Amino acid sequence: MRTFITSLTLTLTLVLTAQVDDMVSLNAGYSNQSFYSLENGEVANVSNTDWDIAFMSTALNSSILINDNIGTMLYSYGTDPSAWETVDTTGMAWEPLYNSETSWERGAFMQLANEDNVFDYGWGEYNIITHVVTGNRIFIIALSDGSYRKILIEELDLGTYTFKYADLQGNVEVQETISGTDYSTKNFWYYSLQTGDVIDREPAADSWDITFTRYSSEILPGANYIVSGVFQNQEVLASEARTVEIDDAQWTDQPMSEEMNIIGSDWKYFDMDIFQYVVEDSLSYFVQDREGNVWHLWFTA
């Protein structure tokens, strides 16, 4: 039995080479996020509380995340952008939308996309003639300070987003046009609806393999809870060797997956008898980085 605290101790082994022990800290209250390279160690350790939404930087993807780590919540108001001036949430059914736990390309804003329509992105629809995604849904977003905003992603044109937001009464309306190509070496660029600032917080996408963070996870059907865990970067694959002694685990025994939460959060559990988290025994992971190297990873504390 191994205890778990906010400082994570992990062991890495490049298959057929030497073992490395390392530790990652997310600070008190898990306020930080760590981006980690299996070859080079921690690349960046940054605040995870200074942003509300994040936009995927690549021109060919329209994923938009919410910062569920700090309690940001997203709801759909309706699919009539012309109702912007008359938004009224009285009697509204508050059905939350969450970021995908398995794909960076399915942020909370995309969760209502019609899977039978490849041009539907949840917040807007792609026009095959203009090659522009035009917003067609108003959202209500609850921020970590307890306030609410209405928000409309108006357009995505060649990596440039135009969006507007205001309080529910329509006061203090802000419209932004921001080019994601300015952050083309990174997966996402970040924005604070509370300060109006663009937050440049991610390291280059090709510099890290896994990230230690907090996120909303569906613990039971229809019931989400904030957990701490590990996501893989895009183009990084992983597999799990559960109930297998670490020394006996073989990377060829399980297929590699591109789902980003293969490591996830269930390598630990909360022991009510000792009232603290405990790391699971006989559990390790194999991670294949972008260069094709396979690493054996497990947690020790």
Please report the pLDDT score of residue 28 as a whole number: 85
Name the residue among 66, 96, 16, 301 with its Cα closest to residue 193. Answer: 66
Secondary structure of the chain: what % helix, strand, coil (to 5)?
10, 45, 45
- pTM metric for this prediction: 0.93
Please report the pLDDT score of residue 3 as a whole number: 38
Please report the pLDDT score of residue 184 as a whole number: 93
Q: Count other Cβ atoms within 10 Å, centred on residue 296.
A: 21
Alpha-helical regions (H) of the chain: none
Burial of 157 (0-12, 13-18, 19+ CB in 10 A): middle
Give the whole-angstrom CA distance, residue 216 versus residue 223: 10
Give the whole-angstrom CA distance, residue 209 versus residue 197: 27
Please report the pLDDT score of residue 2 as a whole number: 40
Residues of the chain with pLDDT under 50: 1-6
